[in-house]
Structure 1
Amino acid sequence: MDGLRTPALLGAVLVVVVGCAQPREESGSGTTGTDGRVGEVVLHNAVVEAPADGSWWPGDDAVVRLTLLTGADRPDWLLGVRTDSAARVELMADRDCDGTSERVDHIRLPAGGAAAPEPGGVDTAHHLRIVDFTREVPAGTTVPLTFTFAEAGQTTLDVPVKTGGDGDVSPPATCTPGPSPTTGTTPATSSTRPATVLRGRVVDGVEPGCLVLSTDRGQFLLLGGDEEVLRAGAEVVVEGTVRPGQATTCQQGTPFAVDEARTAPTR
């Protein structure tokens, strides 16, 4: 646990984080959550909702609740989650604070705090959705989930499935309007969208002078950015905008306009 900053903020979480993938008992309804850590990111009380009939079956979808925090002095982003027990895992958030969750590209963890929206946005209720189980998963067993963070890297947790048989699940985090970056009082609207964050390895494109970022989400053609950082062979984190319709002379990868690029921390 050495090196974790903001002890006052994270102290309540750290007392239950004995090591990666350590289960903890929650009060009420037999809930067991899993805690873990990678770098300076803490994953707290991760749990899959209870199946109504005692098991999740092939083709079923399920919600995963958890709390994410970072003690680092710069933000981090959850970029994706995967499992070998289902077709995919989606990141979900109520970005408009209207009670309806939508799929998002990433979940932001502000420096020294819990997962939150972009600056000037809203306090967003977030969760994960396991889509299309490929095997039976009984209540009381676990589902392996691999989390990828832009700064902290990867970690895998065996996340328990709630028991109880009534399909109950903890309510999502409260969605509270936050200040607008322009007025300081107006909540963000649906037109406000955060930049996309990607992590991957830079490779030379097929055409001369073209650089492509190879990621878990596919290949992206890098447009702009710091040439000292964006060089072939470098592992990097980039922030910017995906521009699938932009015309370029490079034919490999989805165009991605880079706003910021930096060398990725060692995993």
Structure 2
Amino acid sequence: MGRIVYVHGQFVPEEEARIGLFDRGFLFGDAVYEVTAVIAGRMIDNDLHLARLERSLKELDIPLALDRPEIVAVQTELIARNALQDGTVYLQVSRGEADRDFFYPATLAPRLVGFTQAKSLTGTKAQQNGIAVDLASDPRWQRRDIKTAMLLGQVMAKQAARARGFDDVWLVEGGLVTEGASSTAHLITADGRILTRAASQATLPGCTQRALARLCAADGLHIEERAFTPEEAQGAAEAFQTSASSLVTPVVRIGDRVIGDGKPGPRTRALQALYLEAAGVSV
């Protein structure tokens, strides 16, 4: 049997799943999404992801398709039906279906879809060896704090970076790094300070970043929230990025500059271990 997905109230085989032609998520990108990591069959930081989902919907004036306990039940059922041990659960909520028009009826009913993707989230080559990230001008709209399904800018930036031989890309605007195309960017300075950009409309508030910040605070570590330049990033002692699908991943090259000795640094390793231990993964 193939993968079971969720489409607006029903669990169906993926081959039978259908999205309406006039769904505004399809026609306008008028939708938001979330991705929650699953490790050993358990969702990680899901409370943060669902809180961000609710915030994104509120910012776009899209009603909740289901209340939070019902959404958790959908996620849990998807994990169970697909026997998912390691991977992700994806949710997307569109404003609904209506004939194509920039103006939308106030009576639209939101559409919720969800599916799982099996993949290894721990012990990956990227986590072990680190990755190289390109630097590129940020092509996205101004409300990046809303996790919309409009991802063409990120797709183009990632494709261009891969064509240039990089694993990923950090985006730059106004002479400052905003964030990774699908991650939160972090630096570690020579004196041990952990830097990441503060929450604003210029960046998406990272759930993995927030979870790591809580763990750091409990462990007596401080994350300094401020913007930094590409040059400052390239001169950092260590660098890493966080996301639900890559957790804590070392960055060992930024553009044409090798970071440190070109290997994941000890402070990044300690942060990886801190996060994995909290997630219940033996390190």
TM bin, normalised by shorter chain, reads under 0.3
TM-score (norm 2): 0.25
TM-score (norm 1): 0.26
Q: Which structure is higher in strand share?
A: 1
Q: Which structure is higher in helix share?
A: 2
